[in-house]
Amino acid sequence: MISPEQLNAAPKVLLHDHLDGGLRPATVLELAGEIGHRLPRTDAGELGEWFVESADSGSLERYLETFDHTVAVMQTAEAITRVASECVQDLAADGVVYAEVRYAPEQHLTGGLTLEQVVDAVRAGFEHGMAQAERPIVARQLLTAMRHKARSMEIAELAVAYRDAGVVGFDIAGAEAGYPPTRHLDAFEYLQRENAHFTIHAGEAFGLPSIWQAIQWCGADRLGHGVRIIDDIGYDPATPDGPFELGRLAAYVRDRRIPLEMCPSSNLQTGAAESIAQHPIGLLAKLRFRVTVNTDNRLMSGTSMSRELALLAEAFDYDLTDFRWFAINAMKSAFLPFDERLAIIDDVIKPWYRQNI
């Protein structure tokens, strides 16, 4: 059994975390008070519970409704910078050593900010957070475009413009069913021509066609969730040790080492998985897919990296050797330049696990 202290101390790498899904409940309350935004609860503890319960809807669409409140309080540079700084400090306190945090700049314009001002505000917050954090952490931005809207090309251009200013990639998020990633093909083709990196939320609320499009039409470097890749693996649950038959798409994802940004607790809430023990991550990790563990939305799931790992340890008997594998998998899959990735693996992750395993 891994102690909570050890879990907290273990260097963790987080590739899939939404800035607008990770606010402290007390901060939501304070920021809402400043702008007169009405919230469903007035006590921080109760508000935190409200987010988790409301997001526990079994549908991605209803889960996403809870973001109305967090996005509403993130419409000024000061508010965004504060949220970004607290995010980095909270992740560092949880033992995260490298984080890619995403958000959709287009959702933060109602207070009059420009897209550039939003990115600058997050950048200022990340820098402040990294400087203030109780433990060393490197945090970078991913810019998300909303899949049901039509601003993906603009956001892709923004990601490229800020590539040397804290932004390491691009993402598409929002309701999946009815909004295939191919709607944004021009943005993905532009990013490829610019040698830029991107991930796509795919295979969460919708199955294999969404994953196939994300990879084979759009050229995604990584998959956000990707849990439904399990539908392309034939096996008999009565014989848990196999045989396993990988379809063409699953084989391609594994052969090409395409990283899966898995978010176990979030998947339970949106109905993408029934329980942690039944979550596809167990089988996918066993079959040596490039699996990573992530939080998705810490506020809506009432979670942290340590908690996600603890849940997995309980369900699948994982130990520190497995956690090292997840951390190195994630670091290898990061959009940070190769030499910086290697430095975190060699100077931070490996030494800690060498000492503690």
Judged by the rule CB under 6 A, the positions of this chain that interact with ligand 2ND are 18, 20-21, 60, 64, 67, 71, 102-104, 107, 144, 173-174, 201, 204, 266, 296-297
Question: Is there a binding annotation on residue 174?
Answer: yes
Shortest Å, Cβ 213 to ligand 2ND = 15
The Cβ of residue 181 has, within 10 Å, a number of other Cβ atoms equal to 23
Beta bridge partners of 223: 200, 260
List residues near Zn ion by CB under 5 A: 296
Partner that binds at residue 308, options ligand 2ND, Zn ion, none, CB closer than 5 to 8 Å by kind: none
Nearer to Zn ion, 10 or 229 (CB): 229
* Closest among 199, 236, 241 to 221, alpha carbons compared: 199
Closer to ligand 2ND by CB, 198 or 353: give it: 198
Known binding residue 184? Answer is no
Q: Which does 105 bind (CB under 5 to 8 A by kind): ligand 2ND, Zn ion, none?
A: none
Q: Give dist(CA 282, CA 291) in Å, integer.
A: 10
Say how far apart CA 286 and CA 318 lie, in whole Å: 11
State in angstroms the smallest separation of the CB of 223 from ligand 2ND: 12
45 backbone dihedrals φ, ψ, rounded to 5°: -60, -45
What does the chain come to in residues?
357
Q: Is 296 annotated as a binding residue?
A: yes
User: Closest separation between CB of residue 66 and Zn ion, Å?
Assistant: 13
**Annotated catalytic residue within 100, 204, 261, 308:** 204
CA angle centred on 49, ends 48 and 52, rounded to 5°: 90
Partner whose binding site includes residue 144, from ligand 2ND, Zn ion, none (CB under 5 to 8 Å by kind): ligand 2ND
157 is catalytic: no
User: Judged by CB, which is closer to ligand 2ND: 10, or 262?
Assistant: 262
Residue, CB closest to Zn ion: 296
d(CA 210, CA 213): 5
Q: Evaluate whether 12 touches 349 at the Cβ level (below 8 Å).
A: no
Question: Is residue 16 a known part of a binding site?
Answer: yes
Q: At what angle do helices 25-35 and 77-93 cross, to 10 degrees?
A: 170
27 vs 266, which CB is nearer to ligand 2ND?
Answer: 266
289 contacts which partner out of Zn ion, ligand 2ND, none, CB within 5 to 8 A by kind? none
User: Residue 104 CB: number of other CB atoms within 10 A?
Assistant: 24
Q: How far apart are CA 126 and CA 90, in angstroms?
A: 12
Name the packing angle between helices 77-93 and 115-132 (round to 10°).
40
Complex with Zn ion: residue 120 or 296, whichever CB lies closer: 296
**Quick check: 141 and 100 in contact, CB under 8 A?**
yes
| Catalytic annotation, residues | 204
Q: Which residues are annotated as a binding site?
A: 16, 18, 20, 174, 201, 296
Q: Which residues are annotated as a binding site for Zn(2+)?
A: 16, 18, 201, 296
Q: Which residues are annotated as a binding site for substrate?
A: 18, 20, 174
